[in-house]
Amino acid sequence: MYSVKIRSHIMIAHSLPHPGFGPAQQMHGATYVVDATFSAPRLNEMNIVIDIDKATRMLDEALAPLRYKNLDELPEFKGKLTTTELLAAHIHNAVSTACPGIFAGILKITLGESHVAWAAYENAV
């Protein structure tokens, strides 16, 4: 399996209003390191998994609506706990919509919440 990984980051604010989240129930900020890993069993006709520039632009476009936003105020997250896992799936879905004709394979989105905690969502596109 071949892979290409693109890295970016986002800064957001949100709250996690559920007793299981302790102090994180209150409004707080987070800076996530975001990795998008594109994997395929074979290289394409150009001997690449995906064009790195296109992959970078796809990830940037997926992250743009989240940058410097309070996720509690965005309609797509109304009534949802915006956990790291949920955000990874949300970003995966956004990147996946740009993939047809550019990439076919497995896409894994990994969010680094801190230097010791990471969450990911992986699925075929």
pLDDT digits (tens, 9 = 90+) for 39-73: 999 999 999 999 999 999 999 999 999 999 999 99
Domain residue limits at 6: 2-124
The predicted structure's pLDDT at residue 98: 95
**Residue 40 maps to which CATH number?**
3.30.479.10
3-state secondary structure of 23: helix
pLDDT 10s digits, 2-18: 999 999 999 999 999 99
Domain count, the chain: 1
- Residues of the chain with pLDDT > 90, as a percent, come to 98
Are residues 3 and 49 in contact, defined by beta-carbon separation less than 8 angstroms?
yes
pLDDT, average across residues 65-87: 97
